[in-house]
Structure formats: C-alpha cells, structure tokens
Amino acid sequence: MSITYIQLIGIIASIFAIISFQCNTKSVMLYLALTSKLLFGIHFLMMDALTAALMNFVICFRCYIFIQNRNIYWLFFFVVSFLILGIVSYQQWYSFFAILGTLIGTIAIWIGNLKKLRIMVLIAISSWFVHNFLINSYGGMLADILISLSIIIGILRFDIVKRMNKNTQNKMI
C-alpha cells in the first residue's frame, strides 16, 4: 500500500480529532475522538507501529465506555490494559512515548472537568508528537500540532473568555 494513502488516513483521523476538541459536550467529543482513534489505529497498523495501533484501538473502546460510565474501576482497567499492551507490543524505545501519552490521555478523559481535560491532553499530545516524529507519521504530527492549537482555542473560548464574561457580568450586577 502506498505511503501517501497511509498518510492520508492519518490526516483524515486528524480532522476528526481537531473537530472533537471544539465540542463543548463530552459525549460528542468522545464520539468524534472514537472515530479519530479508529482511523489512527488503522494508520499506525499500516505503518507497522504496533504499540501505537493497539493503543488507538483500545482507546476506541475506552471512549465508548467513558461516554457510558465514569466508574473508577474502568479507569483502573484501562490504565492496566494500556500498560500490559505497551509491554507486550513494545517495539523500540519510541513505543514508550505512545504508552505515556495514552496513559495521560486516559486519566484526562476520565476526569469530568473539561478544562482539566484540555490541559492534560496537551501534555499527552506532546508525548505522542515525539512518537509520531520518530516514526515519520505525518498525519500524526499534523494532528498533534493542530489538536494542540484546537485545544488552546478551546481553552480560550470555553475557559478564559467565558470566565472573563462571567466576571464582567458579575461586576455589572
């Protein structure tokens, strides 16, 4: 299969991921993220990045579960699952970055607060960016950069500007 086609799948996955972080509803955000992660799983599998592919496929399941359930046991289940999958599928030292990014992202998604989620996902994306750079995943790097920008915009729109407007309204009363 051509590398262009493989990279295109990563770019399409990036589009879903970027849109997801502009949602202000967690369930919609997670459904879009699920689609993105499914496509990224296929992208990484085609690039022979087994650890990253497995992480993304299980992230699909994680998104679905976290839409339905916020039980702490699910968080524990996914953290342990990602650690085991990471150890079993470990290919090179760069696999560590996919595992770390996934663990941080899992904790971020489980947290109910969207503001904290956005900040933690920025940290997780940094780890994924290193991984994607090292394996030449252009779609992955594009997603990481654009998602970071999207999250920053989301922080500005939903966390900073909203808070500023609320403070302004309170002062007027």
Query: Could you tell me how far CA 14 lies from the centroid of its own chain?
Result: 10
- Average pLDDT over the chain, rounded to whole? 88
pLDDT score, position 168 = 65
Question: pLDDT tens digits, residue range 10-55?
Answer: 999 989 988 887 777 877 888 898 999 999 999 999 999 999 999 9
Query: What is the C-alpha separation between 164 and 86, in angstroms, rounded?
Result: 42
Cα-Cα-Cα-Cα dihedral sign, residues 71, 74, 76, 79: negative
The pLDDT assigned to 170 comes to 65
pLDDT in tens, 93-134: 989 999 999 999 999 988 878 888 889 999 999 999 999 999
Distance between CA 154 and CA 148 in Å, rounded? 10
Distance CA 138, CA 49 (A): 13
Q: pTM here?
A: 0.81
Q: In whole angstroms, what is the distance from residue 142 CA to residue 97 CA?
A: 17
Domain boundaries, the chain: 3-172
Q: What are phi and psi of 67, to 5 degrees?
A: -70, -40
Contact 20, 36 (CB under 8 A): yes
pLDDT of residue 106: 93
